[in-house]
Chain A
Amino acid sequence: MSLVETVNLCQRFDGRDVLKNINLKVERGEVFAVIGPTGAGKTTLLRLVNLLDLPASGIIYFDGIDTAQSARLRTELRRRMAFVFQKPMVFNMSVYDNIAAGLKWRGIEKSRIKERTNAILDMVGLSADKNRNARTLSGGEVQRVAIARAVVCEPELLLLDEPTANLDPGSAARIETLVTEIIRRRKTTIIMATHDMSHGQRLADRVGVLLNGEILQTGDWRELFSSPQNKEVADFVGVENIIDGKVVSNQDGIVAINAGGNIIEAVADYPVGEEVYVCVRPEDIIVARTKISSSARNSFVGEITRIVPFGALTRVEMDCGFPLVALVTKKSAEELELNKGKQVFVSFKATAIHIIKK
């Protein structure tokens, strides 16, 4: 049984649909990231899962229990989870009392509270500040108190809303290490919202892409990058080459697509006349100075429009009748003397292409 399951979950504010038919399942022990741009509805979703708000329609099951039954039940279930807000607020009391608050509300024995709170203070590195008023802490420290306050309750489900969004790089790295440690040590089920792809990528097992209130795709990271289900997801995950085209032939499992006069061949099965997007990962494109003969089905002549150094790699932007971006090593770029305005020959395999229906 999934720890969290939502069925056709909708939320509406002022007549506007903020979440539309969300169907999610999060298994025990899983780290699930909800990614999407600001305003996509990530916070709204987490608030619903935490039972802070009631949905406009739809059902939320926590550990198989229908949460709509009563407010008392929801308080009870809420005590089995914890939520770290995007902009956490601390209570106007000491750091220690802030962290102990959730345990106190759960009616846990005083000596146990002390033991657990002190252990967590140690883990987040705030032992020395435990008697300080939490209102005097810095942003990064407040975030650590908020995480400690949630984790100390030993929740079955931990909800994190943009845990590093408002922090300087140093504090963000520290929070990330902390979250990694929590994942490793406690095996807590986590749902986190983030707009930062790399951050989610480092921490999550599985992701859901939330755009304009809809979950457009769920899966692991590899799936998301290699086969985005539609253009919105492809755009959001940063698929670089998305080329407009139309299927002109379909033979023996190979389709030919007309992209602005050029024919691209791909291994796929779409009927002739279908409007599609052709996606090619920049890493899968071979750039050469002379025409090469290879097994690659697609070869084009292009002109370099821009060169952007990118660490050990170099991003080569070209115009082949359609814009194309390739990623080559810096060394290759130097040896081939790739410069703006140079003519190049590009090729990529028919199997390297992922096609999205328009």
Chain B
Amino acid sequence: MTEIWQGFVKAIELIVSFDPEVMEIAGRSLSISVTATLLAAVFCLPIGSIIHFNRFAGKRILINLIQTFYSIPTVVVGLFVFLLFSRAGPLGGLNLLFTPAVMVIGQMVLITPILLGLTISALSGVDKAIIDTARSLGASGFQITALILKEARFAVMAAVILAFGRAISEVGLALMVGGNIRGFTRVLTTAISLETSKGDIELSIALAIILIFIALIINFALNRIQQR
């Protein structure tokens, strides 16, 4: 018990003294996941809107499929991206395996279903009567789309934040395609996993506290948005 307590005290010391290694790992985690989330959002929001606003055969099935992939295990995405970028894989020539870039790509793949699906449900959350009202007031197709995105803005933002939460907290994918290389692809989750198995409890706890702190901020932001 005292060991854990000492680990906790040490961890706090590491954080408040801005330990370079801790800060570096946390910074990398943030930059990789923020990049992945923003890039994924750039194409998921328009594609989600297109799916929502158009009628086509198999739309329901497509949406069901997207929702099924919400909970796809991160290691499965890891395996898929690994095979894609490994030497023998179709994209092996890019030499991206075990770099932050491939981690960004992997996380984008991981959160695409959530972003797409939640964008679609955010847009469907806009009452049909709102669309009729806009039409009756003379809005054109484009003006209606703009209005709906505006009406759904909080739900769409919530989707983005949720996707970011999934990206930063996953470990399997980062380990498999990033390789947990110190100073290069080591992120919060992979570091915690490694340091714990090595017995370096202090560092693990410090990193875990930071990760929880990030989760806390995400949650706080989400609540603020949803209260509006």
Contact = CB atoms under 8 A, between A and B. Distances in A.
B138 A105 contact: yes
Interface residues of B, number: 16
Given A91-B151, A92-B151, A75 B130 contact: no
B133 interface: yes
Given A91-B147, A92-B151, A105-B143, A85 B132 contact: yes
Interface stretch (A76-84, A110-118, A120-128, A295-303): A76-84
Contacts of B129: 85, 87, 89
Contacts of A93: 150
A87 B138 CA distance: 19
Contact of A106 (B127, B130, B138, B150): B138
Nearest to B147: A91
Nearest to B143: A105
B135 interface: yes
B124 to A, nearest CB: 15
A93 B133 CA distance: 14
Given A89-B127, A91-B147, A101 B132 contact: no
Given A91-B151, A92-B151, A52 B138 contact: no
A105 B135 CA distance: 10
A150 B138 contact: no
Given A89-B129, A91-B147, A91-B151, A79 B136 contact: no
A153 B138 contact: yes
Given A89-B127, A91-B147, A91-B151, A105 B132 contact: no
Interface residues of A, number: 21
A89 B138 contact: no
Interface string B120-144: 0000000101101111111110010
Interface string A50-77: 1010000000000000000000000100
A83 B136 contact: yes
A102 B151 CA distance: 16
Contacts of B135: 52, 75, 78
A92 B135 CA distance: 16
Contacts of A91: 130, 133-134, 147, 151
Contacts of B139: 101, 105
Identify whether the interface residues of B are mostly helix, strand, loop, or mixed: helix
Contact of A105 (B127, B130, B137, B151): B137
Nearest to B139: A105
A91 B136 CA distance: 13
Contacts of A79: 138
A147 to B, nearest CB: 12
A184 to B, nearest CB: 24
A88 B133 contact: yes
B130 A89 contact: yes
A65 B85 CA distance: 61
Contacts of B134: 91, 101, 105
Contacts of A354: none
Given A78-B136, A89-B133, A91-B147, 15 more contacts: A50-B136, A52-B135, A75-B138, A75-B140, A78-B135, A79-B138, A82-B136, A83-B136, A89-B130, A91-B130, A91-B133, A93-B150, A101-B134, A105-B143, A153-B137
Interface of A: 50, 52, 75, 78-79, 82-83, 85, 87-89, 91-93, 101-102, 105-106, 149-150, 153
11 contacts: A75-B138, A82-B137, A89-B133, A91-B147, A91-B151, A92-B151, A93-B150, A101-B134, A101-B137, A105-B137, A105-B140
